[in-house]
Amino acid sequence: FATGRAFSEDEVKGKTVVVIDVLRASSTIVTALHNGARGVIAVEDMGDATRIAQNLDSSSYLLCGEQGGVKIEGFHLGNSPFEYEADVVKGRTLIFNSTNGTPTLVRCSGAKEVIIGSFLNAGAVVERLRETTREILIVCSGWKSRLSFEDMLCAGYLLHTFIGADLPDDAPDGAQLADALYKQYGGNLVASVERSNHGKRLAGLGFEADIPYCCTIDKSNVVPVLMDGLFVPAS
């Protein structure tokens, strides 16, 4: 169990890693793939995004992402899931850069398996996790190395769904914290996420509608998995 950048890249080796960024990168990537995007390349910064784009046919990709919640100048799309409608993304490769979510995905790319998790695809993620015999690491992207309420809450929901009862006594502190958070606030997802730091930041930027959307449970069966540098729906 890890948050922000507080884990070493060695720690992911050999594991199945679930990366959560509820607001909003993981929710937006799930939505984009659900709506038919060909795949998502997660990058650490804008420079990497434009370098990758130079080698692709201009009709095949979209430059996507945000810095501080706001669409990057010159990019096609920002990070609101509502921008990722089927008629915009179908068949396209999305080159995606966000403040915390995509750098976290890049840091986890040395894992045996990397999965993107959110409330939107929680049930399907748990089903996939049931199939693995590997050690599972849940990574909450957070905000600039700090913990994010909504990511911990989603981790708690995944644990709750996966384990189905109380955690074992030797569960790591991070897992216990996430579980306790979900037990406290799980009945009131939207209102509690609206009160979170990033919830308020997004509302201030005019993205308040993104919050109830990103708190919708099991809207999609798509589980994005990393295959040769591209996040694609697991088959």
Unique residue bearing structure tokens 């799930």: 30
Separation between Cα atoms, residue 174 and residue 32, nearest integer Å: 30
69, 156, 199, 233: residue in contact with ligand MLT (rule CB under 6 A): 69
CA 131 to chain centroid: 20
- CA-nearest of 86, 82, 71 to 33 is 86
Interface with ligand MLT in residues 143-172 (CB under 6 A): none
Chain positions 74 to 93 lying near ligand MLT, rule: CB under 6 A, are 79
β-pairing, 16-20 with 136-140?
parallel
Strands 224-227 and 93-97: unpaired
Decide if 160 contacts 123 (C-beta within 8 A).
no
Closer to ligand MLT at the Cβ: 25 or 37?
25
Place of tokens 């990070």: 79
Verify binding: residue 107, ligand MLT, rule CB under 6 A: no
Answer yes or no whether residue 98 interacts with ligand MLT by CB under 6 A: yes
Q: Closer CB to ligand MLT, residue 30 or residue 179?
A: 30
CA distance linking residue 235 with residue 222, whole number of Å: 9
Identity of the residue, 144 or 183, whose beta carbon is nearer to ligand MLT in the bound complex: 144
Q: Given the complex with ligand MLT, which of 24 and 92 has the nearer CB atom?
A: 24
State which of residues 66, 113, 151, 179 lies at the interface with ligand MLT (CB under 6 A): 66
Q: Which of residues 196-235 bind ligand MLT (CB under 6 A)?
A: 202
Of positions 31, 100, 192, 220, contacts ligand MLT by CB under 6 A: 100
